[in-house]
Amino acid sequence: MFENIDLSLVDWSRAQFALTAIYHWLFVPLTLGLSFIIAIMESLYVKTGKEEWKRITRFWMTLFGINFAIGVATGIILEFEFGTNWSNYSWFVGDIFGAPLAIEGILAFFLESTFVAVMFFGWNKVSNKFHLISTWLVAIGANLSALWILVANGWMQNPVGMIFNPDTARNEMVSFWEVLFNDVAVIKFLHTISSGFLVASMFVLGISSWYLLQKREMILAKKSILIAGIFGLLSSLLVAYTGDNSARTLAVAQPMKFASFEALYEGKQNAGLVAIGILKKSDRKIGEKAVNDFAFRVEIPGFLSVMTKGDKNAFVPGVYDLLNGNPSQGILSITEKIERGKKARDLLVEFKAAKKNNEIQKAEGISGMFRDKKFIDNYFRYFGYAFLQKPEDAVPGVKISFYSFHFMVVLGFYFILVFAMALYFLYNGTLVVKKWFLWIALGSILLPYIAGELGWVLAEMGRQPWIIQDLMPVSAAVSNISTGSVITTFILFAILFTVLLIAEVSIMIRQIKLGPKH
């Protein structure tokens, strides 16, 4: 099952999945947020009966439809890659990963796809109230799709609610509710959909600002900015709140990732939070004597300890504590985890041999150990460490984690400021003459996309080398296929997705220039 595999195959498989995920996430967040903005606008139309709101709704609905179609195509390819490129992973996770994705396909996507036809083609064919209900169900369905996908991803980041079956060498779900309400999954869902709401709000704000600069569709632009400003400000505040809670959760579930995105090498009490910093260019390798790794930084004293444990005197472990161990803090070294993981793996090999030799009593005894909580907590939870070549392999890229996190945070505060200013200028009636701000709003359309991609880079690169935290590294998860076939499909997907992206942007720009139908 976990045979040795060429590392170039692992790298190309990771690259292909990253390519697909990055492109997919260019389409998804706009779908998540714009669906709710459209539903809000249509609700105002049904409540007031004003045709202007209907016209505004149909305009943004057209842009939603263009984005929706392409997003579905990239998402299907992404799910297929688990079977084609990561078959060992798919086997090892059993039904735990498959169940949420199946629910997403059967329930959420079915709900979304059923009512999307009514939403687009049901105008003047069904009652206003039924059409409104359909629009809301599309929005709910789109976000429910995200829920189940993020539940699956959250389990990968923090595996819970399962037990390992040595007979099949698979993890089996024992508590669906524990998987669903996994702390990492819950906060990841809230953070992800709120970032999607933010993307859509900035999209609407930016395009509406362009109309004001062109002195076109003034009523549509102002009303759209009102909705996008309120929705965007609330969403950006929710993004900040859930991001803070996500960091607290990661400090417990993924402490190495947490230490990496703060570039905290040596753990300490009263640990400061780096608000802004530039890391030094250094050839120092992990494990060497610590030096000052910052060329420049602005630090908030004690805030990292407060953020993680509510106490400035609380100890926050650094990369070296997690790598080398810190007995005084109850932290095992990676070397010790590797030894414990090897004991669990060797026991699995021994179990397979006993089964093969028909040593039933011995096999049953070993099988019982894999169900024993003490053995699980002390040994099997480190199963994946047995496949690491050296302790340093457990440390992710600190620089990419640090910069991804901090650029994302800076952009988050920027978004709050932009939405607040938009509402303020709209309220005092000066928005139209604030051309400098309108240009800023227009130029900011791409920034939430960048922030979202940085978030996923942090989430996935920050947890390396794991595909399942502590249980399976990516090197053990990849399918045993030829590297050449992965490279070929990587190139084909890169061309296809780029063409789709260019097509969407071109169609979007053309539709925006045409404006809403009169």
Distance separating alpha carbons of residues 42 and 268, to the nearest angstrom: 53
Task: Tell me if 195 sits within 8 A of 242, measured CB to CB.
Answer: no
- Rg over CA atoms, the chain: 25
Query: For residue 409, which phi and psi values (nearest 5 degrees)?
Result: -65, -45
Q: What's at 334, amino acid-wise?
A: I
Task: Tell me if 429 sits within 8 A of 6, measured CB to CB.
Answer: no
For 462-514, the pLDDT digits (tens) are: 898 999 999 999 988 888 888 888 899 899 989 988 998 898 899 999 999 98
Distance separating alpha carbons of residues 318 and 308, to the nearest angstrom: 13
pLDDT at 284 over 60: no
Q: How confident is the model at residue 287 (pLDDT cuts 50, 70, 90)?
A: low
pLDDT at 327 over 70: yes
Distance separating alpha carbons of residues 470 and 23, to the nearest angstrom: 28
Angle 268-376-178 (CA atoms, 0-180°, nearest 5)? Answer: 85
Q: According to the model, what pLDDT value does residue 2 have?
A: 45
Q: Where are the domains of the chain?
A: 7-259+393-510, 268-316
Reading the block at residue 424, the tokens are 């303020």
Reading the block at residue 376, the tokens are 């699980």
- Other C-beta atoms closer than 10 Å to the C-beta of 106 total 11
Indicate the pairing of strand 162-165 with strand 466-468: unpaired
Task: Tell me if 312 sits within 8 A of 268, measured CB to CB.
Answer: no
Distances in whole angstroms, Cα of residue 427 to Cα of each of 229, 365, 437: 11, 72, 14
Task: Tell me if 408 sits within 8 A of 454, measured CB to CB.
Answer: yes
Per-residue pLDDT, averaged over 375-389, amounts to: 91
For 81-122, the pLDDT digits (tens) are: 877 888 888 888 877 887 887 787 777 667 777 788 888 888
* Of 390, 458, 364, nearest in space to 166 by CA: 364
pLDDT at 67 over 60: yes
Global confidence as pTM: 0.89
